[in-house]
Structure 1
């Protein structure tokens, strides 16, 4: 695409699957089945919905459109077909190459875009399992298609985390529906004890300005109050003028809002007879004890990281310090609300381990002398798959 192309309202624009440099009348479309997935009378949205086109005719592989709402267009911008169930699979051939690269680099998380059904996640997980070692990289589902909303319970069940990708979601559905849908998605993720990330246009004005809008501050605050594990910046730090200042401002807003007691976190007593009942019940009671005993830190030793997920999902009002000999999960766990993870591989007995990690917490400034802390461990120590010991101690 030539730089500086302006699509004018009323002009004809054609999508072609040819190797050309696009201009204001012809746009190169990389997706070879685009002409099959569109239909006459359908609206096509470009660049996060900033440009609107109406399909008037399809001739061979060429899709002829009329500009309804114009604007500047650059190369490699997104295309949305809000009224169409496209045939392009969620896991494309390019995605597979990217996954192989991610596995080679030992990345912590893999997020799948345009998830429509649980099978999309299962296909990705099967591909990861086929091409990786014993460690299974966790998968995050980006919720940005109407079909995903129809299948959300099944998607949440097979996802390791959820991202509310409001940019494309706000294009695919009416934007006035996005705020309530965001709250519903956060609730479903928290009920399933899965981390949830809110993304897109959190501090959009800081692309150009040092001061965010009041609406953006409220948006971040509401995401925190809804119970999100994380909020994500994109363009603000990728191409914005003030990336460091933007991160600092977002952190400042989050920390202030988290002082409030009204953060929405659903609490459910673990069901007797479930696979992880013992660990779930220990974590449930640990979270309850935090406020009752004015606990300053909850510390756990884990192999798989499951205990960290359970503790974080219950939002105890204290530091959550996780110690593990599994190097692959140390940075992965930092996505979770309130969690700080540390590599720890000392071969001590339980009493020695508790004493040592308590001293680490003291040295790092998370607690001070006289503070109450909770220690969660497995008996015997480092037994994988169970946390069965809860201990209240004093630093």
Structure 2
């Protein structure tokens, strides 16, 4: 409708990084929004909010055309029986991760902190379980929008996430999920090197669109991921992706100069130091569209 078009035009004009699309039930819902956004000159990514049972029936198709997925448990909980919500949440996370899409868990994460300074133990467990299941991001809603303890809610969620990640390794893809493209094979190889050789301190994803960094994050390495991009807009988008630290840096012309410059930027930013081993991955040839990751380079700084 006209209001939706005005909202999309606003997002394009102000270069918003993400747009949430509510009540998605089929891939064409996202296609309509994307077409309108591109018509307005926008390049934001679309977050498909999964709020209806019909979306669960087509979740694989929706995930493939979305840029990110949100498990919107408020409306989903109204549409489903209560005992079905955690099952749906796990299904959605698995589908999103299988396609390398960031997934957000939202609604009533720390609901009691709207009025109380500490959460219930059940809420703490809910947040921790979402981390263990492999979600990329957790979102507070009423806790920070209208709650009495917004700062405390954010601090508490950060404490729960940090404690959980210290005690549980990242949820890796199933061994049966074999890479299907050159890019996904390179990403898995980079992650395998980092896992097998403890001297590797960092994975550096050189990316113009964010694709390479998302492919590496999909593998859930325990080694930090730094995404090196020339585009500040892409860097802001990557802030949503699990384990990725975006870093904006100009790209040199030649391959050797590019690796040297990226190594220097990483060290200057404090992500690595002289003597550390870093796995570099990306596409060293320019392509206007994402998906051409084809290079793996191991270097000691």
Per the TM superposition, whether the score is higher than 0.5 is: yes
Residue 108, structure 1, aligned to residue 17, structure 2: yes
Structure 2 partner of 1:337: 242
Query: What pairs with 1:65-144 in structure 2 (closer than 5 Å)?
Result: 92-132=1-41, 136-144=43-51
In 2, the alpha carbon distance for the partners of 1:163 and 1:379 equals 33
Displacement after TM superposition at 1:328 (Å): 2.4
Structure 2 partner of 1:196: 103
Structure 2 partner of 1:26: none
TM-score, normalised by the number of residues in structure 2 = 0.93
Query: What pairs with 1:132-281 in structure 2 (closer than 5 Å)?
Result: 132=41, 136-267=43-174, 268-271=177-180, 277-281=181-185
In 2, the alpha carbon distance for the partners of 1:288 and 1:202 equals 33
Structural RMSD (CA): 1.7
In 2, the alpha carbon distance for the partners of 1:261 and 1:218 equals 14
Structure 2 partner of 1:286: 190
Structure 2 partner of 1:394: 300
Structure 1 partner of 2:264: 359
Structure 2 partner of 1:15: none
- The answer to whether the Cα contact below 8 Å between 1:300 and 1:307 also exists between their aligned partners in 2 is yes
Change in Cα spacing, 1:260 to 1:112, as seen in structure 2 (3 Å) is: same
Displacement after TM superposition at 1:347 (Å): 2.5
Deviations 1:277-299 (A, max 9, x none): 22221111011111111222110
Secondary structure of the structure 2 residue equivalent to 1:316: coil
Bigger radius of gyration, 1 or 2?
A: 1
Displacement after TM superposition at 1:187 (Å): 0.4
Displacement after TM superposition at 1:368 (Å): 3.4
Higher relative contact order (CA 8 A, sep 6+): 2
Deviations 1:115-168 (A, max 9, x none): 1111111111111122215xx321110001111112212211211111000011
In 1, the alpha carbon distance for the partners of 2:272 and 2:156 equals 26
Moved over 3 A (4+): 260-263, 382-385
In 2, the alpha carbon distance for the partners of 1:261 and 1:206 equals 25
In 1, the alpha carbon distance for the partners of 2:256 and 2:124 equals 46
- The answer to whether the Cα contact below 8 Å between 2:93 and 2:135 also exists between their aligned partners in 1 is yes
- The answer to whether the Cα contact below 8 Å between 2:169 and 2:222 also exists between their aligned partners in 1 is no
Structure 2 partner of 1:42: none
- The answer to whether the Cα contact below 8 Å between 2:170 and 2:221 also exists between their aligned partners in 1 is no
In 1, the alpha carbon distance for the partners of 2:86 and 2:271 equals 35
Secondary structure of the structure 2 residue equivalent to 1:258: helix
Structure 2 partner of 1:64: none
- The answer to whether the Cα contact below 8 Å between 2:204 and 2:280 also exists between their aligned partners in 1 is yes
Name the structure where strand makes up a greater proportion of residues.
1
In 1, the alpha carbon distance for the partners of 2:167 and 2:86 equals 21
Q: Which of the residues 349, 367, 371 maps onto 2:254?
A: 349
In 2, the alpha carbon distance for the partners of 1:251 and 1:306 equals 27
Secondary structure of the structure 2 residue equivalent to 1:368: coil
- The answer to whether the Cα contact below 8 Å between 1:269 and 1:284 also exists between their aligned partners in 2 is no
